[in-house]
Amino acid sequence: MPRITLPPECINRVYRPHLENEERYQLYFGGAGSGKSVFLATRCVLDVLRGRNYLIVRKVGRTLRSSCWNEILKAIDRLGLRSLFRITKSDGIITAENNGCQLLFAGLDDVERIKSLTPLTGVLTDVWMEEATECTYEDFKQLDKRLRGESRHKKRFTLSFNPVYQRHWIFRQFFDCWQDGKKLCRGKNVSILKTTYRDNRFLTPDDRQALESEQDPYFYQVYTLGNWGVLGDVIFRNWQARDLTEERNRCPQFFYGLDFGFAKDPCAAVCCALDRKNKRVYVFAELYEKGLINARLADRLKDFCGHTPIVCDSAEPKSIQELRSLGIHALAAKKGKDSVLHGIQWLQGHEIVVDVKCTHLKEELSLYRWQQDQEGRTLPIPQDKHNHLIDALRYALEHESTCRRATTAGKGELGL
């Protein structure tokens, strides 16, 4: 490797120790403008000259050109190393002339390219997943399997991202060791570094002012302070999770709802109750399982709701009839025009309290969002995902949300 002297202005102080970080899993997260992508691009350039081979990915391939690819080219030029690299833009490959090691780029939306990519010499030693919160746990597991084969370098998987919501798979997978208020933690084979704009001495005063003056609470928490936040444009903010054992024991009436599924989508059912006086919905239990034929689903429901009526998605009348023949008191939801929006609005007018054991419903409530148009404006249309248990909850309480309760009134109120 050629001898390279790094001038101080190339890397922010907080990142310098991580030039030599060899933990298997490395997470660099925090706010916008923290310099994490610039640092990781610089490290990639230095590492490939030292014999490492990188696969650099984002969820959508076309976004790589304007992000990681450009950052790495800028890092090469900033270090004055253009003569040491062969850059093949058409193939998305950058090769170090001194050893043949490479930086390979691919989008996770191009499965065949991911499968076929292999470095010119040696094996992949590194994966860098940029904007990792856009990617799925399955994406991570498949890429992690690509880090195999003999090498004098330790294998590393680097994830960089702005935090979004705490029930994201990244938080569940890696943040057991994390303590709020800390900037760095290390666990078993894991290192996590949190940075914000305050760690980036290269920002202009205008850059800092823009971040500090952010008015949206979600964007301020996530992009200014670098904290895990509540997802922007999330539909339900009126919920909490706690142990509902006592409430369930004294509940006089339960409501049940079911959303059908099989292979791709799960069968999803909820057991809930309604406190009309305090406008509060309690969700005590969930059923969430893929691959259930109706006979097996009926067995699950016998334990779940017994002979109590359960309101089901009316789009599957044949399944409803089969459940009835198997001893389940299955009813068809009425639905109707704008029933989804009406049900959402009704639920938004209540406090939703979810038992801590309902892990899938908690995740759906964190993820269920409004659609956006091409300019990023919020539309009054919910995304059709992360909503299986939420749909079941709407069905369970459909009668309550659509009925108009009779009330009595005095003669004066009636104009008599």
**Mean pLDDT value across residues 224-228:** 92
The per-residue pLDDT for 216 is 74
**What number of helices (H) and strands (E) belong to the chain?**
15, 18
Residue 411 has pLDDT above 70, yes or no: no
* Model pLDDT for residues 78-128, shown as the tens digit of each residue: 999 999 999 999 889 999 999 999 999 999 988 888 888 899 999 999 999
One domain, residues 143 and 260: no
Domain that holds residue 59: 8-224
- State the pLDDT confidence band at 341, using cuts at 50, 70 and 90: very high
The per-residue pLDDT for 35 is 96
Residue 49 has pLDDT above 50, yes or no: yes
* 192 vs 221 pLDDT, higher one: 192
Note whether residue 31 is domain-resident: yes
Residue 4 has pLDDT above 90, yes or no: no
One domain, residues 175 and 273: no
One domain, residues 48 and 195: yes
The per-residue pLDDT for 160 is 98
pLDDT averaged over the chain?
Answer: 90
DSSP 143-210: HHHH--S--SSPPEEEEEE----TTSHHHHHHGGG--TT-SEEEETTEEEEEE-GGG-TT--HHHHHH
Note whether residue 13 is domain-resident: yes
Note whether residue 27 is domain-resident: yes
One domain, residues 52 and 156: yes
Note whether residue 414 is domain-resident: no
Note whether residue 159 is domain-resident: yes
Residue 408 has pLDDT above 60, yes or no: no
One domain, residues 292 and 207: no
What amino acid is encoded at 85 in this protein? F
Residue 285 has pLDDT above 70, yes or no: yes
The per-residue pLDDT for 338 is 87
CA nearest neighbour of 339 among 253, 398, 388, 414? 398
User: Can you list the positions of beta strands (E) in 188-346?
Assistant: 190-195, 239-242, 255-259, 267-275, 280-289, 310-312, 330-332
Domain count, the chain: 2
Note whether residue 93 is domain-resident: yes
Question: How far is Cα 286 from Cα 243, in angstroms, rounded to an integer?
Answer: 14
Do the Cβ atoms of 131 and 107 come closer than 8 Å?
A: no
**Mean pLDDT value across residues 295-308:** 97
* Model pLDDT for residues 137-174, shown as the tens digit of each residue: 989 999 999 999 999 999 999 999 999 777 788 988 99
Question: How far is Cα 15 from Cα 195, in angstroms, rounded to an integer?
Answer: 9
Among 198, 224, 250, the domain boundary falls at: 224
One domain, residues 147 and 279: no
One domain, residues 59 and 163: yes
Residue 270 has pLDDT above 50, yes or no: yes
Residue 414 has pLDDT above 50, yes or no: no
Pick left, alpha or beta for residue 208 (phi over 0 → left; psi -120 to 50 → alpha; otherwise beta): alpha
Share of the chain above pLDDT 90, in %: 70
pTM score: 0.62
The per-residue pLDDT for 416 is 29
- With b meaning 16 or more CB within 10 Å and e meaning fewer, what string describes 201-221? eebeeeeeeebeebeeebbbb
* 85 vs 188 pLDDT, higher one: 85
One domain, residues 215 and 264: no
Residues 6+ apart with CB under 8 A from 130: 37, 40, 56, 57, 58, 64, 67, 68, 160, 161
DSSP 73-113: HHHHHHTT-GGGEEEETTTTEEEETTT--EEEEEETT-HHH
Among 194, 224, 254, the domain boundary falls at: 224
* Model pLDDT for residues 365-406, shown as the tens digit of each residue: 988 988 888 776 788 899 999 999 999 999 999 999 886 443
Q: What is the DSSP letter of 387?
A: -
Among 224, 252, 268, the domain boundary falls at: 224
The CATH number for 143's domain is 3.40.50.300
One domain, residues 158 and 293: no
User: Strand order of the sheet with strand 184-187?
Assistant: 85-88, 93-96, 102-107, 54-58, 126-130, 156-161, 25-30, 190-195, 184-187
CA angle 359/360/361 to nearest 5° reads 95
What amino acid is encoded at 393 in this protein? L
Question: How far is Cα 83 from Cα 350, in angstroms, rounded to an integer?
Answer: 64
One domain, residues 288 and 379: yes
CA nearest neighbour of 65 among 33, 89, 41? 89
Note whether residue 67 is domain-resident: yes
The per-residue pLDDT for 307 is 95
One domain, residues 178 and 281: no
Note whether residue 392 is domain-resident: yes
The CATH number for 250's domain is 3.30.420.280
One domain, residues 183 and 260: no
Question: How far is Cα 148 from Cα 34, in angstroms, rounded to an integer?
Answer: 32
* Model pLDDT for residues 26-38, shown as the tens digit of each residue: 999 999 999 999 9
The per-residue pLDDT for 238 is 86
